[in-house]
């Protein structure tokens, strides 16, 4: 009886209200933040360059320029060294974008630096289908990459054309061939798909999943199409407007079609049964984001770096990090954030929550935990709370809501960065266009 659009709308409304304070940023000086006092830390490295700027994408990305990208990578390495010199330690590193493989030599040099300075066990790299060339794959393998994540979005040629990816990244059949060639080269080969595209039929989604199963990749991340206010216009012109009313049917189809060979490792990631997954967002206690347009979360404080590439280079040249804004979450917001990411990652461990936040964790979140239980979204276990199959759908909705709020912030920062004229460091910090 709870599986209805009314429950979905109500839950999202409560979620928005309870998380409305997450992104209220204030200006930062830009020094390296202190090492986290509690728990481990992951490193996120943002590479904003892309060959094509897809009409649906709200990530921080700019048109690729070889010279600019080389200068950027060099600044990145300097920023990473700042953290190493300040004594930060990272258990893993995630290169996200944009397109991190756009300059393979620079990427490999940066991976070598990270491995030289930190004892990282996981090295995850995002890429696009065109970069799955034998020479690039061999270099990434030799560099120690443990997870390669390929942005596919769909194997349907019509949808690829609408997404303006067909010309640049090839037809669905070509993309599938590239992935087959990469299978088995890395401990984890992930494929990104986007569902609920405006002109995507259920049959097209089912076909995407069937093709995926034949490729030899051992992980798939299925994202609902998300947006932000300014991207929406360009996306609607190219692809149409998504109908949120179809989300449940699409999501249930994904779960059904991937079982039993693929098991959920988060509310939108599925990994071949018995094989590991490394989604730092759901497992890392803290993370540091370097590069332009990156976020850090350290001991309850959120930090954001500048979205201006010029300002980024200037700040690094001055011996600063790229950080221009921060927000210390209230104790209750920190707990809500932890509840969101842990439940999204399928469960919350009671002992872990006690160690990190003490008994007040359960007092503060009593209402949230009880609601999840009553709705049948989570069940109590010996060790804490486990997300149910039914709860996966709601956590997928909440996480996409959260991502859309972050997209709103990215947008405000991009507008702010656009105000820059002569590479002058920017003052002030805008607030999100669409607050959660």
Ligand X SMILES: C[S@@+](CC[C@H](N)C(=O)[O-])C[C@H]1O[C@@H](n2cnc3c(N)ncnc32)[C@H](O)[C@@H]1O
Question: Which is closer to ligand SF4, CB of 59 or CB of 402?
Answer: 59
From 220, 345, 228, select the one nearest 279 (Cα to Cα).
345
Decide if 181 contacts 193 (C-beta within 8 A).
Answer: no
Binding-site member from 8, 106, 126, 411 for ligand X (CB under 6 A): 126
CB of 366 to ligand X, least distance (A): 33
Q: Does 194 help bind ligand X (rule: CB under 6 A)?
A: yes
30 interacts with ligand X by CB under 6 A:
no
Sequence-ordered list of residues with C-beta below 8 angstroms from that of 161, at least 6 positions apart, any chain? none
Is residue 54 near ligand SF4 by the rule CB under 6 A?
yes
Element (H, E) at 169: helix 166-169
Judged by CB under 6 A, which stretch of 77-85, 91-99, 251-259, 395-403 contacts ligand SF4? Answer: 91-99
* Of 55-63, 85-93, 387-395, 404-412: span binding ligand SF4 (CB under 6 A): 55-63
Q: Where are the beta strands (DSSP E) in 24-91?
A: 26-27, 41-47, 49-50, 62-63
Do strands 347-349 and 26-27 pair parallel, antiparallel, or not at all (unpaired)?
Answer: unpaired
DSSP letter (8 states) at residue 244: G
Q: Shortest gap between Cβ of 99 and ligand X (angstroms)?
A: 4
Angle at 153 between CA 195 and CA 269, to 5 degrees: 65
- Select the binding partner of residue 53 from ligand X, ligand SF4, none (C-beta < 5 to 8 A, by kind): ligand SF4
Total interface residues for ligand SF4 by CB under 6 A: 11
Binder of ligand SF4 out of 30, 98, 104, 224 (CB under 6 A): 98
**Distance between start and end Cα atoms, the chain:** 27
Residue 270 interacts with ligand X (CB under 6 A): yes or no? no
- The yes or no reply on residue 151 touching ligand SF4 (CB under 6 A) is yes
The helix (run of H) or strand (run of E) holding residue 390 is helix 389-418
Query: Would you call the peptide bond into 208 cis, given omega within 30 degrees of 0 as the criterion?
Result: no
Query: Using the rule CB under 6 A, is 97 a contact of ligand X?
Result: yes
Taking CB under 6 A as the rule, does residue 411 contact ligand X? no
Distance CA(146)–CA(126), nearest Å, equals 11
Strand partners, 195: 224
Among 18, 46, 61, 410, binds ligand SF4 (CB under 6 A): 61
Rank residues 151 and 300 by Cβ distance to ligand X and give the closer one.
151
Q: Give least dist CB 65 to ligand SF4, A.
A: 14
213 SS3 class = helix
Binding residues for ligand SF4, per CB under 6 A? 50, 53-54, 57, 59, 61, 97-99, 128, 151
């Amino acid at each position: 009886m709870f599986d209805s659009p009314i429950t979905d709308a109500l839950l999202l409304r409560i979620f928005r209200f309870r998380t409305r304070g997450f992104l209220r940023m204030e200006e930062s000086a830009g020094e390296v933040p202190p090492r986290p006092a509690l728990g481990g830390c992951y490193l996120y490295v943002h590479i904003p360059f892309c060959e094509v700027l897809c009409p649906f994408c709200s990530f921080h990305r700019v048109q690729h320029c070889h010279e600019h990208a080389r200068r950027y990578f060099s600044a990145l390495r300097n920023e990473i060294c700042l953290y190493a010199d300040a004594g930060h330690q990272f258990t893993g590193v995630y290169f996200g974008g944009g397109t991190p493989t756009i300059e393979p030599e620079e990427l490999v040099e940066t991976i070598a630096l990270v491995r030289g300075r930190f004892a990282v066990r996981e090295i995850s790299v995002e890429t696009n289908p065109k970069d799955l060339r034998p020479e690039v794959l061999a270099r990434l393998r030799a560099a120690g990459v443990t997870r390669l994540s390929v942005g596919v979005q769909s194997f349907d040629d019509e949808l690829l054309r609408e997404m303006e990816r067909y010309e640049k990244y090839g037809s669905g059949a070509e993309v599938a061939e590239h992935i087959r060639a990469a299978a088995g080269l890395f401990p984890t080969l992930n494929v990104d798909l986007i569902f609920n595209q405006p002109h995507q039929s259920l049959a097209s989604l089912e076909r995407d999943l069937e093709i995926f199963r034949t490729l030899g990749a051992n992980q798939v991340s299925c994202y609902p199409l998300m947006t932000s206010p300014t991207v929406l216009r360009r996306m609607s012109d190219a692809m149409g407007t998504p109908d949120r009313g179809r989300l449940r049917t699409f999501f249930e189809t994904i779960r059904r079609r991937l079982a039993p060979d693929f098991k959920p490792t988060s509310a939108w990631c599925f990994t071949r049964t018995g094989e590991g997954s490394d989604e730092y967002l759901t497992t890392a206690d803290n993370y540091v984001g370097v590069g332009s347009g990156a976020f850090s979360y350290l001991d309850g404080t959120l930090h954001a770096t500048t979205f201006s590439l010029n300002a980024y280079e200037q700040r690094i040249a001055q011996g600063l990090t790229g950080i221009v804004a921060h927000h210390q979450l209230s104790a209750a917001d920190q707990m809500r954030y932890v509840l969101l990411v842990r439940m999204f990652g399928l469960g919350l461990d009671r002992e872990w929550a006690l160690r990190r936040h003490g008994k007040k964790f359960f007092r503060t979140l009593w209402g949230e935990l009880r609601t999840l239980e009553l709705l049948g979204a989570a069940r109590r276990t010996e060790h804490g709370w486990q997300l149910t199959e039914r709860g996966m759908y709601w956590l997928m909705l909440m996480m996409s809501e959260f991502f859309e709020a972050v997209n709103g912030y990215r947008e405000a920062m991009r507008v702010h960065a656009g105000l820059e004229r002569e590479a002058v460091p920017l003052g002030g910090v805008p607030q999100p266009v669409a607050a959660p």
